[in-house]
Amino acid sequence: MRRSVLLALWLGLVLSLLKEASTVNETTPDSTVITTPETTEASTVNGTTPDSTVMPTPETNVDFCSEHPCGRNLATCISLKNNYTCQCQYGFYYSDKNCYRGKVYPATIAVRALYNDSLHNVNSTEYEKLFNNVSAFFRRALQHDVTGYMQTVIMEIQDPRESRNSGLYVTVTNLFTWDTTANATTVNATIQHAIKNGNMSYVYSYDVAEYCSVYGCDNRTTDCQEDMFPECKCKPGLAKTIWDDRSCSVCSESCSAASHKYCVKEEEVPKCKCMANYKNRTGDCVACPVGYAGEDCSDNSELILIIVGTVLGAVVLILVIAVSIISVRAKHKQNPEKKSLIKPGYSDKNASDERPSLFPRVQTTSGHTNPGYQPNNPYDMRSTNRDNFPERDYDDLYEVSQEPRGFRTQRKY
């Protein structure tokens, strides 16, 4: 009896142990395995889980300007990677949550750093490092040796691929109070001395820059007039708007139809152009010369037509004149073979109607009073050879006379 009880207890204990073991080794389908980044990276490196994907934790940028640390006046807050900085418009420096007018000394510096595209992102670590190193250099160089230094602002980071420079060049402006005694010469000398005695300082080159290079005039629509506070003058035909003084985004009032002009935007830049059939000449739109038309008088098809028409007209005129001359000459020229044998008629004393004679008049010696006249009739000729001709043995008593209705013969005497 006792043995059977012990055996039953032992069997129950064995069954319970087997049940726990099966529960521990069993994997339920609803269970989820969470892998930490460290475990996943290690397994990926060791090659045990080739299908696992590493999901890096995204960096979150903190907005340090959300609470307006630069004030709500003219200053602009720029949130960096781990801090912020306050900047004002050109010609003003920041101090105590406000902007004050000061003096500006621009320059281009070369720094001991490598170029990276992240330098153009103010929220990147690279930009913040550059900003801190540049600010620290000028603070040490100017704050104790020159009175009135207030702030250094980074204006532009040059891309070596575009500027073809071997190093990293940065354009900055050093801002001083308005009543400072420093000028461009003293500032340049102080910084050059700091670079020379800086024992491989972060900034190793300093060159004074023009004010227009940092002022920001729109070169497409304005011309910058160099000064500590430059002026962006509009190009001819353009004008400024009340909300922008560094670009000219509209055409001037002189660009109107009354002046034969109109305004058009080409590549987002306004341009005052002359109307069709007009050309710009010293700022004024004048009519196109004869033969030209179209935009800027570039179409010369009318001139070609005029030239061709003139040439053809001249050719036709020459041909007409030549034909006329030939016709006139041909009209007045007599052909010897067509010479008329009929002479114009003569009037009879007793005739009332004058008609031209159909036959030539027979000339005789009768009644001829010219003493030197020599008759053609060989019988009337008196010469030494008369013996060779028979003498006339008849009397020329008749003559032929013309009448209106014909001819008749009548006696002479």
| pLDDT at residue 233, rounded to an integer | 94
| pLDDT at residue 37, rounded to an integer | 35
Distance of alpha carbon 327 from the chain centroid: 61
* d(C-alpha 219, C-alpha 238), whole Å: 13
Take residue 222 and report the two structure tokens written for it.
């304005």
More confident residue, 18 or 274: 274
CB 302 within 8 A of CB 291: yes
pLDDT of 279 above 90: no
Which sequence spans correspond to the domains of the chain?
76-209, 222-297, 343-383+393-413
- pTM assigned to the model: 0.56
CB 251 within 8 A of CB 263: yes
Q: What is the mean pLDDT of the chain?
A: 76
* Pairing between β-strand 84-87 and β-strand 92-94 as defined by DSSP bridges: unpaired
Which residue matches tokens 């050109």? 90
- Stretch 287-315: mean pLDDT, rounded? 84
What is the tens place of the pLDDT at every residue in 95-111? 998 999 999 999 999 99
**Helix ranges restricted to H, 35-157:** 37-46, 125-142
Give kind and range of the element (H or E) at residue 10: helix 2-25
| pLDDT at residue 335, rounded to an integer | 58
| pLDDT at residue 29, rounded to an integer | 36
Considering 101-105, 232-236, 301-305, the range whose residues carry the highest mean pLDDT is: 101-105
What is the tens place of the pLDDT at every residue in 202-223? 999 999 999 999 999 999 999 9
Query: CA nearest 260: which of 233, 235, 287?
Result: 287
Query: CA nearest 154: which of 200, 183, 113?
Result: 113
- Stretch 109-120: mean pLDDT, rounded? 92
* CB burial readout 336-352, b (16+ within 10 A) else e: eeeeeeeeeeeeeeeee
Considering 125-139, 164-178, 228-242, the range whose residues carry the highest mean pLDDT is: 125-139
Tally the residues of the chain: 413
- Stretch 223-231: mean pLDDT, rounded? 94
Among 36-40, 53-57, 197-201, 404-408, where is mean pLDDT lowest?
36-40
| pLDDT at residue 293, rounded to an integer | 84
What is the tens place of the pLDDT at every residue in 175-194? 999 999 999 999 999 999 99
Enter the CATH code of domain 76-209.
Answer: 3.30.70.960
**Rg (the chain; Cα; Å):** 62
Considering 323-332, 338-347, 369-378, the range whose residues carry the highest mean pLDDT is: 323-332
Distance of alpha carbon 144 from the chain centroid: 53
Q: What residues form DSSP beta bridges with 272? A: 263
- Stretch 331-347: mean pLDDT, rounded? 57
| pLDDT at residue 376, rounded to an integer | 53
Q: Classify residue 172 by burial, with Cβ atoms within 10 Å: 0-12, 13-18, 19+.
A: buried
pLDDT of 82 above 70: yes
| pLDDT at residue 303, rounded to an integer | 77
Residue 266's pLDDT band (boundaries 50, 70, 90)? confident
CB 275 within 8 A of CB 264: no
Residue 370's pLDDT band (boundaries 50, 70, 90)? low
Q: What percentage of residues in the chain have a pLDDT greater than 90? A: 36
CB 391 within 8 A of CB 404: no
Tell me the torsion sign for CA atoms 361, 365, 367, 369.
positive
| pLDDT at residue 190, rounded to an integer | 94
Considering 132-141, 154-163, 193-202, 355-364, the range whose residues carry the highest mean pLDDT is: 132-141
| pLDDT at residue 34, rounded to an integer | 33
